[in-house]
Amino acid sequence: MTNQFNPQNNQQGAPSRPAPVYPPPVSFKEWMISLLLMAIPVVGLIMLFVWAFSGSTNPSKANYAKAGLLWAAIVIVIYIIMAVALLPAIISSLNSSSYY
């Protein structure tokens, strides 16, 4: 009589899963080129969109680009809030000053 709970005799158990296949890491050279491109103002923003939403981009670089776009959006919103809050004060100070 065989014991059905014996791990050595588990021929009818669940099939083993294959090991997950991960994409290759982004190389040092590729990161250096990416950071150089991101340092160029307009090109960097365009490349962030390309890397974030392209299907062929390495997942780690795509996540980095999405995080970069999120930070850019946060900074733009803060700039807009500051402009709306400070613009009336700047305009009123310019109107009240005189150069006689």
What is the tens place of the pLDDT at every residue in 74-88? Answer: 999 999 999 999 998
Residue 95 has a pLDDT of 83
What is the tens place of the pLDDT at every residue in 39-60? Answer: 999 999 999 999 999 999 999 9
pTM above 0.85, yes or no: no
Q: Please, which pLDDT band fits residue 16 given cuts at 50, 70 and 90?
A: confident
- Token pair 């294959």: residue: 18
Interatomic CA distance for residues 91 and 85, integer angstroms? 11
